[in-house]
């Protein structure tokens, strides 16, 4: 869409405000709202200056000026504002050079797509993330020098079977018993339906929705696959819709991977496939699971770089409370056609066009622009260097003997380990100048300083239970 068409849209739809949105390195959506009366074609074409030093991980205060450049092909009317507001997704430009800012996650996604095309391997990659979340009725948390606590609550949580709800009707999914139940056990069906209808109204195609495995309101909405940049944008819209509709119903939604102890966490299994000239490159009926050599090499790249990838794809300290055995979590660096204990699964498909791979380690605390781009870069590295993933593991890895599983590596056990892996294994990300070393170094430094170290230094409430009376 041209700037002229956008200004016409503003007039025709009686838009009062234009909301410029961008994603920071942590994956948090930020915005700047402008009165539509001052929006003209020149502003839309050139962008708007803002202070980048206030965004963690970006410019220093002595070089703070940056530009929000609207992507005029990514516009949607906000379904939640009381005044008619047009949302424009933006790229970040350097104020001096007017080039894409090298730490802009959305700019990196664009460069990743361009690199795939320039490689000659394919001209498009499709992503289909399964981002799970919890909807709670209440959340409380705080931390200080002499105290720390949290509490989440859901009316459908199994811990509320004995609570006084006046009356308590008893329909509560049990621990690990929440997969696909009908209402009234699934108390969130109508809310998820409302989310789906809103998503479709703003141009995000949805395949299905359902309750997930955990008790206490775990849910999933399955988005229809889309190219990398489009899907990353759609995932940001998805999280925005889920959180706001939950709030409208007096509830709260979180994409935190593990908010409940002793039950399944929320992952984001990411389906992906490469195409060229309108045809999939993933299918070959003569190979294992009907995978092409290209697909196998792509898997090889993903598995080789899994520890480093998790620095972007499982980027919170809480991510590693999900990535533990016993909760359907993919903690084994292996691939399989059916085995959900493997990091990469090959979904059974009924046509060549639906052949794809599924990377099961990521979660939705990740920045989708960085996560999807890093996965693509690992896959391309696998293809370019013909990294074969070895033999598939079609047995339940958790049930294998030590001898049978001795050659199967495990995913990192902490964010600190993943960041160490990323620090030591990132050259594949630098190809085509998609990622910069400066971005990677700054990202690692930020995570260590602001997340890993503070968590390590804080007293956990359970430590008092264990050690107070020593």
Two tokens, residue 358: 């599924």
Distance between terminal CA atoms of the chain? 68
Contact 346, 284 (CB under 8 A): no
Task: Identify any residues that bridge with 276 across adjacent strands, giving them in sequence order.
Answer: 279
- The one catalytic residue among 220, 233, 263, 451: 220
- The one catalytic residue among 78, 91, 132, 363: 132
Measure the CA–CA gap between 296 and 357, rounded to whole angstroms. Answer: 9
Cα angle 323, 396, 356 (rounded to 5 degrees) comes to 75
Is 403 tagged catalytic?
Answer: no
- The one catalytic residue among 41, 51, 207, 404: 51
- The one catalytic residue among 21, 211, 269, 322: 269
Is 360 tagged catalytic?
Answer: yes
Is 358 tagged catalytic?
Answer: yes
184 prior amide bond cis, ω within 30: yes
Is 340 tagged catalytic?
Answer: yes
Is 102 tagged catalytic?
Answer: no
- The one catalytic residue among 360, 363, 426, 451: 360
- The one catalytic residue among 31, 171, 209, 340: 340
- The one catalytic residue among 130, 156, 186, 233: 130
- The one catalytic residue among 91, 104, 358, 363: 358
Is 356 tagged catalytic?
Answer: no
- The one catalytic residue among 212, 233, 263, 363: 212
Q: Which of 287, 279, 267, 278 is nearest to 346 (CA)?
A: 287
Contact 271, 404 (CB under 8 A): no
Is 271 tagged catalytic?
Answer: no
Measure the CA–CA gap between 133 and 252, rounded to whole angstroms. Answer: 10
Contact 50, 32 (CB under 8 A): yes
Counting Cβ atoms within 10 Å, is residue 119 exposed (0-12), middle (13-18) or buried (19+)?
middle
Catalytic residues, by residue number, are 51, 130, 132, 212, 220, 269, 340, 358, 360
């Amino acid at each position: 869409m041209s700037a002229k068409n956008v200004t016409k849209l503003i007039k025709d739809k009686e838009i009062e405000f234009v909301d410029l949105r961008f994603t920071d390195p942590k994956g948090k959506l930020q915005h700047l709202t402008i009165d539509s009366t001052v929006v003209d074609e020149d502003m839309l074409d050139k962008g708007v200056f803002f202070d980048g030093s206030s965004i963690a991980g970006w410019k220093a205060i002595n070089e703070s000026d940056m530009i929000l450049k609207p992507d005029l092909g990514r516009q949607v009317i906000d379904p939640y504002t009381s005044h008619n507001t047009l949302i424009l997704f933006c790229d970040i430009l350097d104020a001096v050079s007017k080039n894409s800012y090298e730490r802009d996650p959305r700019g990196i996604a664009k460069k990743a797509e361009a690199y795939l095309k320039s490689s000659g391997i394919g001209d498009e990659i499709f992503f289909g993330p399964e981002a799970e979340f919890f909807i709670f009725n209440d959340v409380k948390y705080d931390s200080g020098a002499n105290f720390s606590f949290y509490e989440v609550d859901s009316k459908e949580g199994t811990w509320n079977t004995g609570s006084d709800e006046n009356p308590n009707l008893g329909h509560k999914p049990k621990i690990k018993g929440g997969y696909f139940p009908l209402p009234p056990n699934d108390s969130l069906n109508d809310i998820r339906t409302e989310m789906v209808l809103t998503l479709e109204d703003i141009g995000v195609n949805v395949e299905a929705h359902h309750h997930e495995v955990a008790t206490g309101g775990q849910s999933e909405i399955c988005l229809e696959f889309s190219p990398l940049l489009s899907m990353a944008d759609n995932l940001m819209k998805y999280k925005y819709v889920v959180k706001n509709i939950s709030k409208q119903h007096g509830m709260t939604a979180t994409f935190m991977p593990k908010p409940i102890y002793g039950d399944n966490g929320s992952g984001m299994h990411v389906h992906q496939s490469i195409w060229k000239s309108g045809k999939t490159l993933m299918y070959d009926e003569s190979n294992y699971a009907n995978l092409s050599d290209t697909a196998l090499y792509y898997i090889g790249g993903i598995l080789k770089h899994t520890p480093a990838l998790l620095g972007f794809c499982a980027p919170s300290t809480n991510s590693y409370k999900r990535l533990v055995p016993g909760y359907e979590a993919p903690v084994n660096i292996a691939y399989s056609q059916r085995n959900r204990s493997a990091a990469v699964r090959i979904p059974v498909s009924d046509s060549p066009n639906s052949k794809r791979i599924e990377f099961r380690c990521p979660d939705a605390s990740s920045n989708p622009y960085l996560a999807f781009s890093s996965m693509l870069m690992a896959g391309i590295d696998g293809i370019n260097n013909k990294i074969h993933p070895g033999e598939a593991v079609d047995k339940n890895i958790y049930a294998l003997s030590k001898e049978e599983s001795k050659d199967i590596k495990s995913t990192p056990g902490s964010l600190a380990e993943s960041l160490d892996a990323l620090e030591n294994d990132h050259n594949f990300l630098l190809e085509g100048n998609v990622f910069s070393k400066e971005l990677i170094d700054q990202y690692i430094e930020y995570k260590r300083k602001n997340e890993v170290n503070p968590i390590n230094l804080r007293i956990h409430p359970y430590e008092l239970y264990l050690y107070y009376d020593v």
